[in-house]
Structure 1
Amino acid sequence: MESRDAVRGYYDAIDGGDYDRLHALLAPGFVQERPDRTLAGRDEFVRFMRDERPRTDTEHVVETMGVSGDGKTVFARGRLLGGDGETLFGFVDVHRVGAEGIESLATYTD
């Protein structure tokens, strides 16, 4: 799977509540670093997304996506919308993709 397709699938899986697909897209050692916490391990991340995140009625609107020259880093810029269509915040995500799937994600918000 191409890096861009893996990242697009990541957002689709979260927004659609497809946690089996999300699990399959992530490498076992996946780590997300975000302003409020670090989630280490694919299982911990999927559990958080499924059971602990404050809102599940959200949609990621990706406005810009770019891929590094080596094809292993995908940059996504967009907005997170609530169920009512309200913009909750803007984000820039930097995904690192390897042979086993998405290895890491650094999330920056505004």
Structure 2
Amino acid sequence: MDAAALAQTYYDAIDDGDYDALREALAPDFQHVRPDRTLDGRDAFVAFMRDDRPRTDTSHVVDAVYEGADGVAARGRLLGPEGELFAFVDVFETADGAIAAVRTYASDVDATATTD
């Protein structure tokens, strides 16, 4: 699977609550760095998404994908039932057909909205 497809799988799995698909897309030593926390390891990240994230009623809208040599960057918006929560850019590093790392940059993140 190429990097853009892996990124889409990541968003789809989170939005659909498909934690098996999310786990399959991530490398064992996956790391997610975001404005409010860093999660180290695939299992820790999947457990957080499944059990601890503040909101699960959100969806990712990807407006653009930029391809690079070792991954992609996705620019989009996180939506809740009340509308847009914040804009984001996720930078995905991929290796051996899996997502090795995601670094999230977000604008106007409300502490109650920080989810994915």
- TM-score when scaled to structure 1? 0.95
**Partner Cα separation in structure 2 for residue 53 and residue 37 of structure 1:** 11
Residue 90 of structure 2 aligns to a residue whose secondary structure is strand
Q: Provide the residue aligned with 1:81 in structure 2.
A: 79
Unaligned runs of 5+ in 1: none
Percent of pairs identical after alignment?
A: 53
**Which residue identity is paired with 1:80?**
L
Q: Provide the residue aligned with 1:39 in structure 2.
A: 39
**Partner Cα separation in structure 2 for residue 76 and residue 100 of structure 1:** 18
Q: Provide the residue aligned with 1:90 in structure 2.
A: 87
How far is the alpha carbon of 1:100 from its aligned partner?
4.8
Residue 94 of structure 2 aligns to a residue whose secondary structure is strand
Residue 54 of structure 2 aligns to a residue whose secondary structure is coil
Q: How many residues align?
A: 107
In the alignment, is the contact (CA less than 8 A) between 2:2 and 2:97 conserved in 1?
no
C-alpha RMSD over aligned residues: 0.8
Q: Provide the residue aligned with 2:104 in structure 1.
A: 107
Unaligned runs of 5+ in 2: 108-116
Spell out structure 1 runs of 4+ moving beyond 4 A.
none
